[in-house]
């Protein structure tokens, strides 16, 4: 089960990824800006999603909005 970013690069646990688009976080007033880097990602059971930390909260991001750093 390969999890791939927007460019087709395979993502693994602990990788760093960068946002390629501004995203609004559902259920909050937070907007994640393009270029933000998330370190030490975790894979999920779904191929198109990863988990990462934003401050003290854990958020789930779709891999189509990410590129590996």
- 7-65 pLDDT tens trace: 999 999 999 999 999 999 998 898 999 999 999 999 999 999 999 999 999 999 999 99
CB atoms within 10 A of CB 23: 18
CA distances from 4 to 25, 37, 49 (A): 21, 16, 9
Asked whether the whole model's pTM tops 0.85, one would answer yes
CATH number of the domain bearing residue 60: 2.30.30.40
The parent domain of residue 17 ranges over 3-68
How many domains is the chain built from? 1
Rounded to whole angstroms, the Cα distance separating 29 from 6 reads 25
């Amino acid at each position: 089960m390969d999890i791939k970013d927007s460019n087709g690069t395979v993502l693994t646990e602990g990788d760093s990824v960068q946002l390629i688009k501004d995203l609004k976080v559902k259920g909050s007033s937070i907007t994640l800006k393009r270029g933000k880097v998330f370190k030490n990602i975790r894979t999920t059971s779904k191929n198109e999603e990863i988990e990462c930390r934003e401050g003290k909260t854990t958020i789930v991001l779709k891999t189509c909005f990410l590129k590996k750093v």
